[in-house]
Amino acid sequence: MTSSIELSKPITLPCGATLKNRLGKSAMTEGLADEYDRPTKQHEVLYETWSRGGTGLHITGNVMIDRRYLERAGNVVLENDDDLALFSSWAKAGTIGGNHLWVQLSHPGRQCPRMVNSQPLSPSDVQLDLVGNFGKPRPMTKADIEDVISRFTHSALLVKRAGFTGVQIHCAHGYLLSQFLSSKTNQRTDEYGGSLENRARIIREVITSVRKAVGKQFSIAVKLNSSDFQKGGFSLEDCVKVATWITEDGIDLLEISGGTYEQLSLFGVEPTEVRESTRKREAYFIEYAKTIKQHTSVPLMITGGFRQRNVMETALANGEVDVIGLARPLCTQPNCSKDLIEGKVNALDDYEHALILGKGFWGNNSPISLIKAINGFGQVGFYYWQIIRLANGQSPEITTSVLRYFFKHVTNDLRLNIRRKRASR
């Protein structure tokens, strides 16, 4: 096999930072924090393993800016400098391979589980109705909005002090900043609601504030939905406008993904509107990226579905994307980036199609909601379990019992919640 010229090319970002190749690890929530929401030795082991695997850019899973509101128990929280030494150890271990390591900063908004907080925050009081797991949110006041902007800014500055090489501001997947963008979840009538310009205001203020705090040479990325894939929600047209605005605000990389908890495109469940040609070319969001590329100059990273080396190379060569985002394959093949670049593999692991309950009977299109939930969360659980094994210095464990991983995931999340509750007493 021949080595990949396209994948191995470095890229220099607007801030002057250079990524050593065109492969990026997209954020995956790790669930490895201790009961006090602090980084652990497992984070160091996991990210050192991935760092040695050859990926040019690594983005951490959700690091929360406010201990009161988590995406799930097991999230790391960075809201003050009490445990900055632990973050510095994580940063050092995760850059041992000469790669960049950026921290994804996030606030869950209404997507904060009841077991963490029964009354989360959101732009409006629109509740997430998903098996009763989420409480009705409290509409944010102006003071709440100012506090969130301040928290993103302060956390970003702490990220820089800890020795990480950049931050990614999470504005996708239905989390708080994404909730502001969607008219389904943002029903405000003040300057943060109504028009798209108003709904994007908080994101632009966060970016401007973070840039002022960290300086011009520190990398700032944004993760943005191409679409929510929901009628009346955030659309591709909206995405193009927001992408143009935040490019003007001075970001260095834009990662495009899509979906929310209610429409799980982020987990690889494609909306019906995605063209068949896109499915054949694997990358879920690449057709959307082409449109965004026509209107912005910021380097673009696409995550979702890339498995074939030739598809990645073609997307890069055609200028459709600047960085190829990988996530799940790194859980089962932690050295896959090096192997792709050196031409040792032409395709990456793809276990989603094997992890389906009742596969021979109805495929992945079960009419039964429970079966759909088991398949979805079982697949998620499979990859979470591989992360835990890598973090413990173990090799991936490949079996295809979706029920097994469903129960592993559910029981592990329950354990993390109980442990955190006990620690807070």
Q: Is residue 247's pLDDT more than 70?
A: yes
Give the relative orientation of helices 236-248 and 286-293 as an angle to the nearest 10 degrees: 50
* Residues 387 and 396 sit within 8 Å (Cβ to Cβ): no
- Residue 399's alpha-carbon distances to 148, 154, 212, 348, 405, in angstroms, are 42, 42, 48, 17, 9
The model's pLDDT over 80-119, given as tens digits with 9 standing for 90+, comes to: 999 999 999 999 999 999 999 999 999 999 999 999 999 9
- Residue 296: name the closest of 317, 322, 273 by CA: 322
Average pLDDT along the chain: 89
Backbone angles phi, psi at 424, to 5 degrees: -85, -5
Which range is least confidently modeled, 38-42, 132-136, 269-273, 334-338? 269-273
Q: Tell me the mean pLDDT in the region 288-307.
A: 89
DSSP 157-172: HHHHHHT-SEEEEEE-
Q: What is the 3-state secondary structure (H, E, C) of 229-243?
A: CCCCCCCHHHHHHHH
- pLDDT the model gives residue 357: 66
Q: What is the largest CA-CA distance in the chain?
A: 59
The model's pLDDT over 24-37, given as tens digits with 9 standing for 90+, comes to: 999 999 999 999 99
Give the pair of three-digit tokens for residue 202: 């908080």
* Residues 17 and 217 sit within 8 Å (Cβ to Cβ): yes
- Residue 224: name the closest of 191, 195, 196 by CA: 196
- pLDDT the model gives residue 228: 63
DSSP 179-222: HHH-TTT----STTSSSHHHHTHHHHHHHHHHHHHH-TTSEEEE
Q: What CATH number should be reported for the domain whose range is 5-350?
A: 3.20.20.70
* Residues 174 and 261 sit within 8 Å (Cβ to Cβ): yes
User: Domain ranges in the chain?
Assistant: 5-350, 351-425
The amino acid present at 399, given as its one-letter code, is: T
Nearest-5° Cα angle at 364, 362 to 367:
65
Nearest-5° Cα angle at 345, 344 to 346:
135
Is the pLDDT higher at 128 or at 154?
Answer: 154
The model's pLDDT over 306-348, given as tens digits with 9 standing for 90+, comes to: 999 999 999 999 999 999 999 999 999 999 999 999 999 999 9
Strands 18-19 and 11-12: antiparallel
Q: Tell me the mean pLDDT in the region 249-272.
A: 64
Query: Helix (H, G, I), strand (E, B), or coil: what is residue 135?
Result: coil
Q: Is residue 193's pLDDT more than 50?
A: yes
- Residue 418's alpha-carbon distances to 19, 65, 134, in angstroms, are 40, 21, 17
* Residue appearing with tokens 């997947």: 173
The model's pLDDT over 206-245, given as tens digits with 9 standing for 90+, comes to: 999 999 999 999 999 999 988 665 566 678 889 999 999 9
